[in-house]
Amino acid sequence: MPRPDQEEQQLLGDYEAGRLVSVASAAELKRLREAARATAVKDKRVNIRLSSGDLMDIQALALTEGMPYQTLIASVLHKYVSGQLVEKKPA
């Protein structure tokens, strides 16, 4: 494993000294908890076919959210079936 660079060493030192403070909002923490909860219990496997374009878009969104694309898909499906995500009606 490569040695940490100067910036990484500084971050590690700050973390170990307790000088880092979370900047995540309550809403962000709730969103992350829901995503984790939605993917924590995996007792069934599902295979689906998606267009290449849709998959690429999902993967890009997942990257910006900082999560695996499978987790994003599971989270969206969970929110939809639990009523937390509804189809947007045209204006």
* Mean predicted lDDT score pLDDT of the chain: 87
Kindly write down the DSSP assignment for every residue of 25-64, as one continuous string: -HHHHHHHHHHHHHHH-----------HHHHHHHHHHHHH
Assigned domain for 76 exists = yes
- pLDDT value for 35: 78
Q: How would residue 62 be classed by pLDDT, with cut points 50, 70 and 90?
A: very high
Q: Is residue 48 over pLDDT 80? A: yes
Which tens digit of pLDDT belongs to each residue from 10-46?
A: 998 998 999 988 888 899 888 888 877 776 677 788 9
- pLDDT value for 39: 67
Assigned domain for 12 exists = no
Give, in degrees to the nearest 5, the angle at Cα 54 between 48 and 57.
130
pTM of full prediction above 0.75 = no
Domain ranges, residue 65: 23-81
Assigned domain for 70 exists = yes
Domains: count for the chain: 1
